Structure formats: C-alpha cells, structure tokens
Structure 1
Amino acid sequence: MALKRGFYLVCGLCSLALGLLGIPLPILPTVPFILLAAFCFARSSDRLHHWLMTHPWFSEALNDWDKNRGIRKGLKKKAYVVSGLSFGVSIAVVPLLWVKVMLVCCAIGLGFYLWRIPELED
C-alpha cells in the first residue's frame, strides 16, 4: 500500500509542477494537470489534497469540477481567449511549417476538449 501511495504522490507532484508551468507557457495546459494532481493527492496525501482544494487559485474550479463535473462560463471563456492568444502567438513566431500545423492541430484538439466540458452559470 505504501508503494501505491508513493506512486500517486510522485504523480501528483509532477502533475502539479506541470500545471504550474502551464500557467505562463502557451502550449502546456494547466487544468488537466491540476485535476490529475487533485486526483493523485486524494489517494496519497490528505494534507496536499486539502492544500490544493483550498488554494485561492484553484479551489473554485476544482470544487466546481468535483461537485458538478463542469466549469464556470467565465472561466471557460478565459480558457478560450488565453489558449487562442497563446496558440496564435506561437503559430506566428514559429518558422517551421510542420510545427505550425502541429500547433493548429493541438489548438483544435484543445478547443474541442473545452467545448465538450459542461458549463456552469457564473
């Protein structure tokens, strides 16, 4: 059992680190990694799970996801805008055509993923 908890703890910490890196980096998504961190911490560390679920940056969105399996309309619009701007700048800056095509495909995939998430009223 300790090995399983250790595995979830390491996965949770890595997911949290990637999620935090995703805040300033345009390609790396934040929300899936923070959700994965919450999932892993729930199975490994009550203290870290409580910290993440009450953190001022993430608590509202995590609790909405936990209770209603959706995100607020305003947060979803922000995700569309920030993702679109990030991908747009990245596509404009990158000189290689194959990378531009890959970025467009990633942007479409992310847009489709966000579109499928149920919206909650603000």
Structure 2
Amino acid sequence: MKKKLYLILGCLSLFLGVIGIVLPVLPTTPFLLLSAFLFERSSKKFHDFLLENKVFGRYIKDYKEKKGITYKNKVIAITVMTLGMGKSFFSIQNIYGRVSILIIFLGVLVHLLKLKTLKNS
C-alpha cells in the first residue's frame, strides 16, 4: 500500500515538475527531486527511467550524488527563473499573488546559490 502511494505521489510530482517547465510559478527542480525520492522507494523501473532521462537524468544524478550543479546550469536556472517569474510578477496585479511569486523566487534563488558548484563535465 505504501509503495503504491509513493508511486502515485511520484507521478503527480513528475507531472507538476514537467508543467513547471512552461509555467514559471511552479518550480521544476524540487518536483523532479521529489519524484526521484518517491520513485526510489516505490518503483525501480520509474526511478531508473527518471535517472536515465536525456533531459533530467544527469541533473538529478549530479544533485543526488554530488550535492550540487554546474556553474553553467546555475546561471541558466537563475536566468530562466528570473525571466519567467519576473514576467508573472509584473503581469499579476493582485498583491498576494505578487508576494507569493516573490517569496517563491527568493526561496529558490537562495537554494540555488547555496548549492555546491560542480565543475563542468
């Protein structure tokens, strides 16, 4: 029962992570890392699929095994996040929406900056 719950939550987290690629309010990386965590506890097949994925696999492995990301990927992540969330911030007129976006942005930015910077490989 526990494995099924982890599998369902892992699929939901993966779905949200993929949506986060195009929707700047949803952060992609935390959802993908959560998916890897949940799949590791529920399905070797899904876990291996995620780690061997051409788009996400290497980044998840670097984060999981080496506890960091490359300088290039930090710059790309911060740039894309700034542009996407900046667009959302200025297009939303609701103060609560703007504050929410700002809090999410600052939280993810601090996390990215605190991550160990790996050498490009």
The residue that corresponds to 1:12 in the other structure is 10
One-letter amino acid of the structure 2 residue matched with residue 107 of structure 1? F
Following superposition, the deviation at residue 107 of structure 1 comes to: 1.5
The residue that corresponds to 1:58 in the other structure is 56
**Separation (CA, whole Å) in 2 of partners of 1:22 and 1:65:** 18
**Separation (CA, whole Å) in 2 of partners of 1:117 and 1:36:** 17
Q: Deviations over 1:45-98 (max 9, x none)?
A: 111111111000011101111220111111111110011001111111112233
Q: TM-score, normalised by structure 2?
A: 0.93
**Separation (CA, whole Å) in 1 of partners of 2:86 and 2:2:** 41
The residue that corresponds to 2:22 in the other structure is 24
Following superposition, the deviation at residue 108 of structure 1 comes to: 1.5
Secondary structure in 2 matching 1:119: strand
The residue that corresponds to 1:105 in the other structure is 103
**Separation (CA, whole Å) in 2 of partners of 1:67 and 1:106:** 25
Summarize the alignment of residues 111-122 of structure 1 with structure 2, pairs less than 5 Å apart: 111-122=109-120
**Structure 1: gaps spanning 5 or more residues:** none
**CA RMSD, aligned part only?**
1.1
**Separation (CA, whole Å) in 2 of partners of 1:44 and 1:31:** 20
**Structure 2: gaps spanning 5 or more residues:** none
Which of residues 91, 94, 97 is equivalent to 1:93?
91
Aligned length: 120
